[in-house]
Amino acid sequence: PYRIEIIDTTFRDGQQSPLLFDTGKYRFSLEEKKLLLAGLIELGVTHFEFFSPVVGKAEEQDVRELIAYAQTLTSRELHCLAHCRCNLEDIQRALEVGCNGLNLYLGVSPLAQQHNAQKSLEESVALAREVIRATRQAHPDLYIRFSAEDAFRTPLEDIFSLYDAVYPYVNTLGMPDTVGIAEPEDVVAVVTQLQARYPDARLECHFHNDRGLALANVNAAVRAGVRYVDASIWGLAERSGIPSVTGVLFNLSKRYPEIAAQYNLSQCYPLNVLMASILGTLVPYTEPVSLTNRTHTAGVHQKAVLSEKRVYEAHSLHDFGVDKNQLLLGPLSGWNLIYYYLKEVENLAIDKDQAKRLTQEFKAHTHQIGRGKRPEELLLELAAAQGIPRLS
């Protein structure tokens, strides 16, 4: 069957998000990670990327505990993957904490050669071949993914040199857009060439959102044949992040209805709300699976949605757990919402003509809103001044 695997990296790239610094949290606690892990498993995610234990004792202990905890939550086969440098010691440590797969990476872009790896292309190719061949020999069934960091700023022939060397030993080849430089057309070109050259490897994508194109790049990659998609809750990751788990599922399910059988999509929004409660902020307004996307503020929209939601709600967000919509009373509201609000919510004995008159007055006083006054307060004051009574 057609499967698209989300590789959740909330616990790796997600913890590299500056948002964790902005909120003063810096890292998730073990308890928070357990809640998030349970939410992801509930949603049907089975692939998780964790930090390599070498980043520090606290992460090492958490990874160990999370892997054990995950087994208690589901009988499905889970892939607990360590994001690991191409180095036998790091690999050994990752396997010792219980990871059953490796997400190995190594950069060979001109910048990486000069400033990061400080190795020539030939040296990096030899290192990758040696480490991955030895790992495969020692662990014939281990899941191994290998990625050329900054793939979209690396000449394709250099990626070929590297991947040719490791292809016999890996399950999956990645193509990370580490600095968010790729456009969908570039993605399709790279996927097409990798597929042709490495027909037995699965392809994985990891797109950063520096240009706001990460989700569009995922769509393009999957249409071109990629089946492994890196994502995180809210899209938390280094800098402006990567696509969110829920944004990816929401988008892909439009084209691939099979996703609804693989994932428990109604858990999408609860997962985003869980992260909001942990970070103490609202679900980001740019998140596709959000109440924001079912919220209406302009009078014209509110009037239409009161009659038929589909006029301004094209997407089945209800299926993704956003089980209500909201019309916000505010400076842009028209008489339809004002009538509805006063009659249905506040239970005032108001008729349509009164609501229209009250709306004129409300509009004349909107400068007061937001300066210590909520729209609802202003409206009730104006209604009281007109002597409109409350029923019962």
Binding site for ligand HCA (CB under 6 A): 13, 16, 83, 103, 105, 147, 149, 174, 176, 178, 206, 208, 238
Report, in Å, the least distance between residue 368 CB and ligand HCA: 48
Report, in angstroms and rounded to the nearest whole number, the Rg of the chain calculated over CA atoms: 26
33 or 206: CB nearest ligand HCA? 206
174 or 375: CB nearest ligand HCA? 174
Report, in Å, the least distance between residue 207 CB and ligand HCA: 8
Report, in Å, the least distance between residue 276 CB and ligand HCA: 24
103 or 246: CB nearest ligand HCA? 103
Report, in Å, the least distance between residue 148 CB and ligand HCA: 9
51 or 269: CB nearest ligand HCA? 51
48 or 341: CB nearest ligand HCA? 48
d(CA 73, CA 34): 10
90 or 149: CB nearest ligand HCA? 149
- Asked if 207 and 236 count as a contact pair (C-beta separation under 8 A), the reply is no
82 or 355: CB nearest ligand HCA? 82
Report, in Å, the least distance between residue 154 CB and ligand HCA: 11
Q: Where are the alpha helices (DSSP H) in 225-364?
A: 245-255, 259-262, 268-279, 299-307, 335-340, 352-364
Instruction: Give φ, ψ of 151 to 5 degrees.
Output: -60, -30
Could you give the 3-state DSSP secondary structure of residue 275?
helix
18 or 389: CB nearest ligand HCA? 18
d(CA 57, CA 9): 19
- Asked if 302 and 334 count as a contact pair (C-beta separation under 8 A), the reply is yes
Give the strand pairing for 202-207 and 172-177: parallel
Q: In the structure encoding, which two tokens stand for residue 120, read together? A: 């020539």
- Asked if 187 and 220 count as a contact pair (C-beta separation under 8 A), the reply is yes
Report, in Å, the least distance between residue 147 CB and ligand HCA: 4
Tokens 């439009």 locate to: 254
- Asked if 376 and 329 count as a contact pair (C-beta separation under 8 A), the reply is yes
Report, in Å, the least distance between residue 13 CB and ligand HCA: 5
Neighbours of 308 (CB within 10 A): 9
Look at residues 342, 230, 351, 212 and name the one whose alpha carbon lies nearest to residue 286. Answer: 212
d(CA 249, CA 256): 10
Report, in Å, the least distance between residue 272 CB and ligand HCA: 21
